[in-house]
């Protein structure tokens, strides 16, 4: 009984808070899912929710549906009325909205929220990592990219996708691993532990590696990246050269971010803890642990974007 009364009391406070325009929703939209985070005016967490994919580049309508679905689910989880959807001040980070066409189409959306502030996925990741303060991030996962947020301005560095860019990324390391393994098979390049490692992981030998990776995309190449780091740690000269080359690029990327005026950097992505030790000391000295994830960054976007009901 007390629990029920408590819930009603809490719900009552929230309903009135919402009427004051003080319900904020952060949305971290990605290609596999859409995470939402509902907070009150003090930033206290009310509910989290997960809905389907929200990739505005690949499927604009689907992304909109997932965003609304995640918002409705967050309200329901918090015990709030679905009618409060129109009171939500939303900050959302979506991959692809750096592309003018995608951003333009999203701006046309007659969304059901009180306000929608839209940024890229990497922007909210940067806000989350530095608690909304100025800072820079380097994402080293399947791909690689740098981002700085300073003086209210966000800037992207590097990236451009595999195989033309994304140096130092998992896909980039993995392709180099396969190339080196094949050179070793043909005895047209130096012997390397990478050959045994790649053969073991792919379950084939010699030129069977070619068939095994025929038509492979960045994700499959990225799956070979840990082997490069393991072989480099074991002292294999070919692997060391690859990792150093990638880490040197990420070091240059980090220096660019620092030159853009950020006080500190964070490394994100699955490769981050493994490749960071290979980067130069001057940039490692400026690294801090990320404070929170992109969904928290999206909330910061929602809360810092002012009371205007217009979209960013």
Binding site for a copy of itself (CB under 8 A): 157-158, 160-161, 163-165, 167, 175, 178-179, 182-183, 186-189, 207, 210, 213-214, 249, 252-253, 256
Quote the least distance from Cβ 59 to a copy of itself, whole Å.
18
Residue with Cβ nearer a copy of itself (188 or 281): 188
Residue with Cβ nearer a copy of itself (152 or 215): 215
Residue with Cβ nearer a copy of itself (17 or 283): 283
Residue with Cβ nearer a copy of itself (58 or 304): 58
Quote the least distance from Cβ 36 to a copy of itself, whole Å.
31
Quote the least distance from Cβ 182 to a copy of itself, whole Å.
6
Quote the least distance from Cβ 189 to a copy of itself, whole Å.
8
Residue with Cβ nearer a copy of itself (82 or 161): 161
- Name the one residue in this structure whose structure tokens are 């509902």: 38
Residue with Cβ nearer a copy of itself (83 or 206): 206
Quote the least distance from Cβ 311 to a copy of itself, whole Å.
25
Quote the least distance from Cβ 294 to a copy of itself, whole Å.
23
């Amino acid at each position: 009984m007390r629990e029920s009364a408590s819930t009603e009391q809490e719900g009552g406070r929230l309903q009135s808070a919402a009427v004051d325009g003080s319900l904020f929703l952060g949305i971290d939209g990605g290609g596999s899912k859409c995470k939402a985070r509902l907070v009150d005016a003090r930033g206290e967490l009310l509910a989290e929710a997960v809905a389907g994919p929200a990739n505005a580049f690949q499927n604009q309508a689907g992304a909109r549906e997932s965003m609304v679905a995640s918002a409705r689910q967050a309200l329901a989880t918090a015990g709030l009325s679905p009618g409060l959807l129109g009171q939500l001040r939303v900050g959302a980070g979506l991959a692809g909205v750096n592309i003018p066409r995608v951003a333009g189409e999203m701006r046309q959306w007659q969304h059901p929220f009180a306000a929608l502030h839209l940024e890229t996925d990497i922007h909210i990741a940067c806000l989350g990592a530095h608690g909304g303060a100025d800072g820079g991030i380097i994402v080293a996962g399947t791909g690689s990219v740098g981002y700085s947020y300073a003086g209210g301005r966000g800037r992207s560095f590097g990236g451009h996708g595999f195989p033309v860019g994304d140096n130092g990324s998992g896909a980039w390391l993995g392709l180099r691993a396969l190339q080196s393994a094949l050179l070793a098979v043909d005895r047209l390049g130096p012997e390397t532990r990478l050959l045994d490692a790649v053969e073991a992981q792919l379950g084939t030998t010699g030129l069977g590696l070619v068939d095994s990776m025929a038509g492979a995309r960045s994700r499959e190449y990225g799956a070979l990246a840990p082997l490069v780091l393991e072989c480099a740690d074991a002292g294999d000269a070919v692997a060391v050269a690859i990792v150093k080359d990638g880490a040197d690029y990420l070091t240059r990327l980090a220096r660019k971010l620092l030159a853009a005026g950020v006080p500190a950097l964070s490394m994100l992505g699955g490769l981050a803890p493994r490749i960071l030790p290979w980067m130069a000391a001057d940039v490692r000295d400026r690294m801090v642990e990320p404070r929170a994830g992109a969904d928290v960054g999206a909330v910061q976007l929602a809360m810092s974007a002012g009371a205007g009901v217009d979209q960013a």
